[in-house]
Amino acid sequence: MEPTISLDAQALKALIKESVREVMREEWFKFFDLLTPHVDNEEQAAIEASFSPTDHPDTDFVDITN
């Protein structure tokens, strides 16, 4: 006979909740990937050649990481 694992209702609910969050996060990333246009190497090189970080001083940006 296989061993069984007993979970109380709260632990089971937490496990299901975290599993659903993981799946939703994966699906959102897939969705965002579908919305992001494809850029080939030639087009990316043209973008990088026409724009430079030195053209945009730090004062043009707001730090929202905190």
pLDDT digits (tens, 9 = 90+) for 15-58: 999 999 999 999 999 999 999 999 999 999 999 899 888 888 88
Select, from the ranges 2-6, 9-13, 57-61, the one with the highest average predicted confidence (pLDDT).
9-13
Does the pLDDT value for residue 3 go beyond 80?
no
Distance CA 60, CA 46 (A): 23
According to the model, what pLDDT value does residue 56 have? 82
Q: Where are the domains of the chain?
A: 9-60
CA distances for 43 relative to 40, 54, 55, angstroms:
5, 21, 20
